[in-house]
Amino acid sequence: MLLASGAVVLMALAGRSTPRASERPPTPALPTAALPVGAPSPLPSGATPDRIPTPDPEMDPSCSFADRGFGAYGTYQPLPLGKVLVPPPGAIPPGTGYNLLVHFHGAEPVRREVAPLDLGLVIAVVDAGIRSSDYARALRATSWKTLLGTIDHAVAESTGIPDLHPRRIAVSSWSAGSGAIPTILTADRSPDALVLLDSLYAGYAPGQHALVPGQLAPYLSLAQAATRGGPLLFLTHTTVPTVGYASTEETATFLLRQLGASAVLVTPNDGDPLRLVRMYDGGSLYMRGYAGATREDHCAQLRLLPSILTEHVLPAFEQGT
């Protein structure tokens, strides 16, 4: 049985018709417990079919981001998984800990968008491939706890302050980067804020066009906690279509329906290139839906991260939520 593990299908952009299922290359099964033939994949973590690769934001021209430098950060420090930017000496007072952003998929766009703002964050970025299964494997090979430990070490070396640890952690993903998230959500040190930029997909039961109940349970639990003021959850979606599995628009609708909530429809502003069409705010849960259905619209979701950080994540950190 082919299990799900991949990311977004950008149909209208490829300039070709969508391949029939018989033409798609077979994908290896994930190392999980055996399932009976024909049974729906439970997809307990919201993984998606590993069929068509997502854009590589460092190679795809449509994902071009102006390089505004490193701000006060200087340069990257390599990590066993990814790399990290540490604020200059004095930005992290001794004994206070530090605020950490860990982003999966789209390292350079995030650096170009966030670093020049000098928000005082330690910024770790991970590019592990162009399929969500690449990120799932990366977090199995280098555990979340190990990744945080290597970041601590890099921060201590840069600042000269030993035993520094994150005070608050924000995790963000774009596109295929969501493959890293399920492992993180079950770790001992879960994030204080999770930002999913056009990044949450899910699978269908065989022969159906509906999400399998229960497969997004970790995200539903997080969303329920967020509505009660728990850890912040911010998710965005476009209308980029997918074939054979649920798009980010469908998963956002599914989560709201499970919560008994409804999004507010928004008339797109002529000056808004992303074309916001619906939104939901409830406690610490935020959803923003955009009308774009092109590769460029998918890439542009990365441009939302700076405002999400400054308007939502960092204020939540200061309030201790």
Residue 4: which pLDDT band, with cuts at 50, 70 and 90?
very low
Predicted local confidence at residue 5, as pLDDT: 40
The pLDDT of 308-314, averaged and rounded, is: 98
pLDDT level of residue 59 (50, 70, 90 thresholds): low
DSSP readout, 272-303?
-TT-EEEEEEETTEEEEEE---SHHHHHHGGG
Task: Assign 94 a pLDDT band (cuts: 50, 70, 90).
Answer: confident
Q: How far apart are CA 55 and CA 65, in angstroms?
A: 14
User: What do you get for the CA distance between the two ends of the chain, in Å?
Assistant: 42
The number of CA neighbours under 13 Å toward the Cβ of 285 is: 19
207 — pLDDT class (breaks 50, 70, 90): confident
> Each residue of 153-190: pLDDT tens digit?
999 999 988 889 999 999 999 999 999 999 999 999 99
- 253-258 average pLDDT score: 95
Whether 17 has a pLDDT exceeding 90, the answer reads: no
- For 175-301, where are the alpha helices, taking DSSP H only? 181-185, 217-227, 248-259, 295-300
Q: What is the mean pLDDT of residues 125-144?
A: 94
- pLDDT of 306 strictly over 50: yes
Q: Is the pTM of this model over 0.85?
A: no
State the residue for tokens 């991970």. 126
| 229-254 pLDDT tens trace | 999 999 999 999 988 889 999 999 99
User: Does the structure show a pLDDT above 80 at 27?
Assistant: no
Chain centroid to CA 73: 23
Q: Does residue 19 have a pLDDT over 80? A: no
CA distances from 106 to 17, 114, 230, 239 (A): 27, 12, 27, 20
